[in-house]
Amino acid sequence: MDKKVQKGALILIIILLIIFVPLACLGLYFRFSGPVESPVKENVGKEFFFDNKLWFYKEDGSLLGIYECTTKNCNYALNTVDDSNYGLDSFESNEDERIKIIDNRYAILNDNETSEEAFVYDIVNNTSYKMAAYVSAKDYGVGLADNMLIVKNSAQKYGVIKLADTIEIVLPFEYDFIGLKNEVNSEGKLATDYFITLKNGNWNLTDKNGATLTVDIADTIIDYTGTYIITKNNQEIYHLINYNNEAILTDDFANLSFIDKYLSCTTVDNTFYLYDLANKKIASETYDITANDEILTDVDTNNNVVISINDQVVETIS
């Protein structure tokens, strides 16, 4: 090989060594001196809150997903059932006061140091909808049919959402109150065909398509059937009306409640009887009672209505 060529090759090798040897040394330095990632801790006991995270499991024990908490106040959101403020006979659950997982996909969470605001977390897709946080949420402890949820926004307006493939708005956020009657479906969830709504001082029955089924009613809607409505005014007086706000019974009542095809009636004059709604007549004896008497009406296994006063059966009606 020509000496000039050899000399040129040697110079090139020296230049390459000068360039690449320091780079290789730097690579080794950063590899071994850089930050070491902490290993993910294993939640052996399958605790809900562990390692500053919320861990969601199916009933069979398999892991659904994990939520990374941003504050110490990190939990399921409170189940805020405020129906008693209006006297509604709502479903009372013995379950925990916090809303649990919905449809093995959605969790209603609170992760805020200063408030109990609620937001939807999609466990499967690891997505938090904090921009649409709610002041309160309720599913009455047993859940609502069709994975619905009654929520109140920061403007103190109620609406209804449905947790499906996406978060759908069933009823817009324009109501001063939304509640449900105590009616559980075959799945053990509260039926959501009709909502009791308050808007601009008027009560109505509103279906899940947003249609108003009644004329405006000034008194609180306590309960209803497909034909009749029980209302209660500010003086704690009950009335029976129809969907057109027309009186079906003209008396004032201290209490009214539906029991099978009958209406349990306690008048302001301290008398009690069952009223047959279909035949529009009193179906039982009329009983004189006192304010301290405890009256119970129940349907037995033979579909008879049993009337008890102070734990004593006084009448059974077929």
Q: pLDDT tens-digit profile of 14-63?
A: 554 555 555 555 554 545 444 444 445 789 899 999 999 999 999 899 99
Question: Mean pLDDT over residues 168-176, rounded?
Answer: 97
The overall longest dimension of the chain from CA atoms, in Å, is: 130
Q: What single-letter DSSP state applies at residue 157?
A: -
The alpha-helical segments, DSSP class H, found in 62-219 are: none
If we measure between CA atoms, which residue out of 154, 113, 114 comes closest to residue 131? 154
Q: What is the structure's pLDDT at 100?
A: 85
User: What is the reported pLDDT for 38?
Assistant: 45
Strand, helix or coil for residue 23:
helix
Nearest by Cα to 318 from 266, 260, 249: 260
- pLDDT per residue as tens digits for the range 220-276: 999 999 999 999 999 999 999 999 999 999 999 999 999 999 999 999 999 999 999
* Burial per residue of 229-241, b for 16 or more beta-carbon CB atoms within 10 angstroms, e otherwise: bbbbeeeebbbbb
| pTM, entire model | 0.82
Whether 3 shows a pLDDT value over 90: the answer reads no
Please give the Cα distance from 64 to 74 (Å, whole number).
Answer: 18
Q: Are strands 262-267 and 271-276 parallel, antiparallel or unpaired?
A: antiparallel
123, 107 Cβ separation under 8 angstroms: yes
> pLDDT grade, residue 12 (50/70/90)?
low
Please give the pLDDT value at position 15: 55
What average pLDDT does the segment 166-177 reach? 96
Nearest to 189 by CA among 91, 88, 81: 91
Q: Which long-range contacts (CB under 8 A, 24 or more apart) does 230-239 make?
A: 230/256, 230/257, 230/258, 231/203, 232/87, 237/268
Compute φ and ψ for 255, nearest 5 degrees. Answer: -165, 145
Q: What is the pLDDT of residue 2?
A: 53
Residue 143 has what pLDDT? 93
Q: Can you give the pLDDT at residue 19?
A: 55
Among 187, 255, 243, smallest CA distance to 215 is for 243
| pLDDT for position 317 | 92
What local confidence, expressed as pLDDT, does residue 36 receive? 43
Query: CA 206, CA 12: separation in Å to the nearest integer?
Result: 85
Is pLDDT larger for residue 301 or for residue 77? 77
Closest CA to 256 of 280, 273, 242, 244: 273
What residue segments make up the domains of the chain, in order of their start? 77-213
pLDDT at site 271: 96
Is residue 71 over pLDDT 60? Answer: yes
Tell me the C-alpha distance between 267 and 282, whole Å: 13
Q: Express each pLDDT in 80-131 by its tens digit.
A: 999 989 988 888 876 668 998 999 999 999 999 999 999 999 999 999 999 8
Q: 192: which 2 tokens? A: 């959501």
The 3-state DSSP composition of the chain as helix, strand, coil percent (nearest 5) reads 10, 45, 45
pLDDT digits (tens, 9 = 90+) for 138-151: 999 999 999 999 99
For 264, phi then psi, to 5°, come to -85, 120
Element (H, E) at 7: helix 3-33
